[in-house]
A and B are shown apart, each in its own frame.
Chain A
Amino acid sequence: MNRFLLASLALLMLAAPLAADEAFPTRPITVWVGFPAGGGTDILTRALAESAEKALGQKIVVVNKPGASGTVATTELTRAKPDGYTLVSNTDTPITRSPHLRDLDYDPFRDLTPIMLYGRYKVTWAVREDSPYKTWKDVVEWAKKNPGQLTFGHPGVASTPNLVLTKIAAKEGFTFRNVPFAGDAPAITALLGGHVLMIGGSSSSYAGYVQAKRMRILLVNEREGLDYAPQALTIEKAGYGIESATVLVITAPKDLPRPIAAKLEKAFIDATRKEPFVGVARKSETIIPEPLTGAALGDYLRKLAASYEVLIKEAGLYKSEKK
C-alpha cells in the first residue's frame, strides 16, 4: 500500500511540470510570511492574498513562519519546489540586509526568483510634541553642540531608521547614543515617557500619536512628505542623498518557470489596485508603488542591497568586522 502510494506520488511529480504551466494554478497557493501574525507585513500580505484570489481563481493560504527578520521563511523557501505553489512575502531585509549581517544558507540573488514589489513603508524620525526641537535643523544643531548627548531609540540595529541616522550623523558631524528596542511600540513608549529624545520608525505606528498631539515628525524618507505632518522635512530636501527604503516583496524559489511567474505577476499587480488591499495599505500608511516585477525588480533589489552594504559597513555591523 505504502509503496503504491509512493509510486503514484512519484509519477504525479514527474507528470506535474508538463501540465502545470498551462493550467496553473490548479490547487491552493501557500504564501509564507516571515513575520509574526498581526504585524504590518502580515496584515498587508493577508489583504493582498484576498485581493489576488479572484484573479487566480484559487485560494491563497497565508501561513506565518516568523523568525530572524524574515530569513527563516526565506531559507525554507529556497528548499521548496519552484512550482509557484509556495511563495514568501517579506520585507527586503532577508535579501538586502541580513546577508551582510551574518552568514546565511542562501544567496539572495542566486537562490530566489523575485516576483513582485507590492508596498513601501514610510520611515520617519520623531520627537515628543513638547520637545524644544521644532524642526530637523534644530535637532542637528543641538546634537552638534552637545556631542554624544542625543539619545535615539529605534526598532533594531539593522533597521532603516538607525542605518540612515548613522549616515546622517557622519555627514553632519555629530554623534548620538544608539538605543535599540524590540520594535516600534516599545520605542514609542520610551519616547512618550521621556527616556529617549528622538525615535525612528514606521509612519503607520506613529500617525495616531501625531494626530493626538503627543509626537512630532521631523524627517521622512519619502519624496512626497506626509499629509498628516506637513512640516516634516523630506530626506531629499535635506540634501542627504541616501538610498534607503523598506519595501515589501513576494519571492519564489529559483528556476520558477517563466509562464507561472508571469501569471503570478499579473495577478498580484491586479491585486494591488483592488480592495481590500488598497484600503488596508492606505490605513497602514503604506505606499503602493508602480508595479515592479521580474528582472527589473531583481536589479532594484541588487541596487538596494549594495547601498545597504555600505550603510551596514559604516555602522560597524558588517559580518566580517565582528569578532
Chain B
Amino acid sequence: MDTFHAIALGLGVALQPLNLFFCFVGVFVGTLIGVLPGIGPVGTMSLLLPITFHLSPVGAIIMLAGIYYGAQYGGSTTSILVNIPGEASSIVTCLDGYQMARNGRAGPALGMAALGSFIGGSVAIVGLMLLAVPLAEAALSFGPPEYFALMCVSLVVLTFLSRGSMGKSLMMGVLGLLLSFVGLDMFTSVPRFTFGVNELSDGIGLIPLVMGLFGVAEILLNLEGEMKREIYATRLGEILPTARDWVAARWSIVRGTVIGFFLGILPGGGAVLASFVSYAVERRLSRHPERFGTGVIEGVAGPETANNAAAQSSFIPLLALGIPPNVVRAVLFGGLLIHGIQPGPLVMQQRPDLFWGVVMSMFVGNAMLLALNLPLVGMWVRLLRVPYDVLFPLILLFCAIGVYSVNNSRTDVYLMVLFGLVGYLMQKLGYEPAPLALAYVLGPILETALRQSLALSGGSLSIFVTRPISAASMLLVVVLLIVQLFSRRSSPKETT
C-alpha cells in the first residue's frame, strides 16, 4: 500500500463520527488531567482501560492516545501559572514560563506553548507517516553502551541549564543522581538506602519528588510575604504572542521540532529528555543567554515544541515494532492486548486501519487541542485572580490527590511533603530544583546502561569507544566540556 492510499484509509477511519467523538473525549480528558498537577496520563489511561473492553480497538486506542498527547498540552499550563510541572516533560517550562507569568505575560506564554505544541506535534506526525519503519529499525541500534554515552551527553548539557552558580547546580545534579540510587539494586536485588522501608524498594517516585520540590516548595515560599499579585493581573487583554514573540521564537520552534522528533524515537528517551535538551540548545545559541530564566519566550517555545514532537514520534517504536518505550505506551500496549491485537511488528501489515487510523486521528486531535486550548488561555490567566488563600489550599489538595492516585500509596504523599520542605530550603539558599529533578530522571538510565554495557563486555570499558554511536557521543562530551570550560573562563561574569 503506498502512502497516499494509506493516508486516505487512515483519514476514513479517523473521521468516522464515533472515532471523532473518542478522539475529542481523549484530548479533552488529557487537557484536564494535564492541568491538574499530579494526576498524570498513566493513571488516567489505566483507569479508563476497563471501559475500553467494550469499545472497538481503533476507538479505544485513539482515545487513549489522545489522553497522552492532550496531557502534554495541559501539562505546561500549571508550569507557567503556578510553577508546578503538570508532567515531567514540563519541568523545564517552569524556568521561563513561570517568570513570564510573573512579568504579567502569562497569556503569551500559554499561547506560545499551545501553538508550539501544535506545530511540533503536526510536523512530527508527518515524520511518523513517512519514516516510521526505517526510523524504528534505526532506533534498535541503540543498545546499552549507546544509552550510556547519550546520558553522558545529556548530563553535560544539563550544566548549561543553570541560571545561577555553576557549582551549586552541579551539586544539585549530583544530589539528584544520589537520590536515584535509592531502591533495589537491579543486578543483585539488594536494597540500597531504603532503611527497611519496603515502599522505597522501587526508589523514590518521580511524581512526589517533582510535586514537592516545585509545587509545595513554591507555595511555602509564597506564604512568606506579600505576593506581587497585581503584576499577574495586568495586561489581561494580551492573550496571544505578539509579532515580536514570533520573531524571537521561530527558530526555537524549528529546532525544538527536530530535537523532539529524533529524541522521542529512542526507547526510554522521550519527551523529558527532548524538552530540556531543547532548552539547553536555545540557551547556548541565544545572543542573550543571561536572560534565560527571567522569562524569555524562546525558553518556553523550544521545550514545549520539543516535548510535543517527542510525544508523537515516541509512537513510532510502539506502532512499527510493537515495543512500548515507556510506561504510558505500556498501558496502550495493554489496551491492544485486551482487544486481541498482538502488538508487534505485524500490526502495520495486519491492521493497517488501526495504524493509519490512529496516526491520522493524531492530526485531528492536535487541531482539536489547539481549538480547545487557545480560548482556554484567557480562562487560565483569569484563574490567577482567584485569591491565594483559596487557590493555594486547592493546589495543595490537588497535589496530594494526584500523588496518592499514582500508586495508591500514602508513602508517596509523605515523600511529597518532605521534598516540599527540602525544596523550600533549597530555594532559600539559592539552589535550583531543575538540575536535581532532571539528574534524578537520567540517573537510573545512566546507571543501568553503564552496568549493562559492562556486563555485555565482560568488564571492559573499551565497549564505549569501539562502537561508532557511543564513540561519537563520547567525543561530543569531551568537546562540550572543553567549550564549557573555555567559555566560562573567557566570560567569568556570565553568572547572574
- Measured CB to CB, the residues of A under 8 A from B are 36-39, 42-43, 46-47, 50, 62-68, 71-72, 75, 101-105, 148, 151, 156-158, 177-182, 185-186, 188-190, 192-196, 204, 207-209, 211-212, 214, 276, 279-280, 283-284, 317, 322
Contacts and interface: CB of A to CB of B under 8 A. Distances in A.
B127 interface: no
A159 to B, nearest CB: 10
A171 B235 CA distance: 77
Given A72-B409, A322-B188, A207 B342 contact: yes
A208 B322 contact: yes
A274 B347 CA distance: 28
Given A43-B334, A181-B452, A283-B340, A211 B346 contact: yes
Contact of A105 (B143, B198, B323, B345): B198
B494 interface: no
Contacts of B201: 67-68, 71-72
Contacts of A43: 334, 337-338
Interface bracket on B: 35 or more
Interface in B329-359: 330-335, 337-338, 340, 342-347
Contact of A65 (B335, B407, B456): B407
B43, B140, B448, most chain A CB atoms within 10 A: B140
A307 B325 CA distance: 34
B334 A38 contact: yes
Interface stretch (B46-54, B218-226, B371-379, B421-429): B46-54
Contacts of B342: 207-208, 211, 283
B129 to A, nearest CB: 21
Contact of A193 (B143, B188, B198): B143
Given A105-B198, A189-B323, A283-B337, A211 B189 contact: no
Given A68-B198, A211-B346, A189 B140 contact: yes
Contact of A37 (B42, B140, B143, B196): B42
B281 to A, nearest CB: 27
Interface string B107-148: 000000000000000000000000000000000111110000
Nearest to A178: B455
Contacts of A211: 342, 344, 346
Given A65-B408, A158-B189, A104 B340 contact: no
A189 B320 CA distance: 13
A179 B456 contact: yes
A129 to B, nearest CB: 11
A38 B330 contact: yes
B452 A179 contact: yes
B326 to A, nearest CB: 10
Contacts of A214: 345
A214 B45 CA distance: 30
B141 A193 contact: yes
A67, A72, A186, most chain B CB atoms within 10 A: A67
8 contacts: A36-B327, A38-B49, A38-B330, A38-B334, A64-B408, A157-B186, A185-B323, A204-B337
B458 interface: yes
Nearest to A104: B198
B268 interface: yes
A186 B142 CA distance: 11
B162 to A, nearest CB: 30
Nearest to A209: B344
Nearest to B184: A68
B296 to A, nearest CB: 37
Nearest to A282: B340
Contacts of B323: 185, 188-189
A279 B340 contact: yes
B29 to A, nearest CB: 16
B338 A190 contact: no
A38 B41 CA distance: 13
Contact of A212 (B188, B337, B346, B408): B346
Contacts of A196: 456
A148 B142 CA distance: 23
Interface of B: 42-43, 45-47, 49-50, 53, 140-144, 184, 186-191, 196, 198-199, 201-202, 267-268, 317, 321-325, 327, 330-335, 337-338, 340, 342-347, 407-409, 448, 452, 455-456, 458
Nearest to B43: A37
A186 B337 contact: no
A207 B322 CA distance: 11
Contacts of A103: 196
B335 A38 contact: yes
A195 B144 contact: yes
B453 to A, nearest CB: 9
Given A65-B408, A185-B324, A185-B330, A280 B338 contact: yes
Contacts of B408: 63-65
Contacts of A156: 186, 189
Nearest to B452: A179
B60 to A, nearest CB: 13
B140 A193 contact: yes
A201 B201 CA distance: 22
Contacts of A158: 189
A204 B144 CA distance: 24
B26 to A, nearest CB: 16
Contacts of A193: 140-143
A322 B342 CA distance: 40
Contact of B330 (A39, A188, A276): A39
Contacts of A194: 140, 143
Contacts of A195: 143-144, 456
A102 B148 CA distance: 29
Nearest to B333: A38
A38, A177, A179, A211, most chain B CB atoms within 10 A: A38
Given A42-B334, A189-B317, A317-B188, 11 more contacts: A37-B49, A38-B332, A39-B330, A46-B49, A65-B407, A68-B199, A72-B201, A157-B188, A185-B267, A209-B344, A284-B337
Contacts of A104: 198
B139 to A, nearest CB: 8
Contacts of B184: 68, 102
Nearest to B332: A38
Contact of B268 (A151, A157, A186, A317): A186
B337 to A, nearest CB: 6
B456 A151 contact: yes
A148 to B, nearest CB: 7
B186 A212 contact: no
Given A37-B331, A180-B187, A188-B323, A50 B407 contact: no
A102 B333 CA distance: 32
A151 B42 CA distance: 33
Contacts of B458: 148, 177
Contacts of B46: 36-38, 42, 64
A71 B344 contact: no
A36 B141 CA distance: 28
A44 to B, nearest CB: 10
A72 B198 contact: yes
B35 to A, nearest CB: 22
Contacts of B198: 67-68, 71-72, 75, 104-105
Contact of A101 (B189, B202, B325): B189
A208 B346 contact: yes
A192 B320 CA distance: 13
B55 to A, nearest CB: 13
